A = this chain, B = another copy of it.
């Protein structure tokens, strides 16, 4: 078996938003990503894409919370108890957030995006452009997912 080496990462920037609490879950929320100055060249050509994946570090999750293995999706007791790898919960062994956002503007080291559900000051780990390999025509999702997202679901 492989050795379980620890992995060390450094933020590439931070999230800037005035939204707090549940407001960050609003999919029309506009926020900013402030990239480290020394990484600006890494953005060249990014505005050729309409959408990006933002990978960020959920720094409000405690070591204790990282041990969580099952949750009720979105904390709702009417949802089945589900493994953390079968949900997009923040509670997971490696608390990395992954959100698909719309890229609205790039100005120097500031990216303006729509739909980023991350709090102010959240460390950003990576940005990746969305392309057609990320688009699945008919993904299968469980019944609970459809119920949870009824009304604001893209299906």
Q: A residues near B, CB below 8 A?
A: 2, 4-12, 14, 27, 36, 39, 41-46, 48-51, 53, 55, 57, 59, 69-70, 80-88, 92-94, 96, 98, 100, 121, 123, 125-136, 139-145, 149, 153-155
Contacts and interface: CB of A to CB of B under 8 A. Distances in A.
A5 B98 CA distance: 20
A131 B113 CA distance: 20
Contacts of A121: 2
Given A39-B69, A48-B144, A134-B139, 18 more contacts: A2-B11, A6-B8, A6-B10, A7-B10, A7-B59, A41-B83, A44-B70, A44-B81, A45-B80, A46-B83, A46-B86, A85-B126, A85-B127, A130-B139, A132-B155, A133-B154, A135-B135, A135-B154
The 9 A-B pairs with the shortest beta carbon distances in the complex, nearest first, are A48-B142, A50-B140, A44-B83, A45-B86, A46-B86, A41-B69, A132-B154, A85-B127, A42-B83
A51 B139 contact: yes
B43 A83 contact: yes
Contact of A128 (B12, B43, B88, B131): B88
Contact of A7 (B45, B57, B83, B133): B57
B129 A88 contact: yes
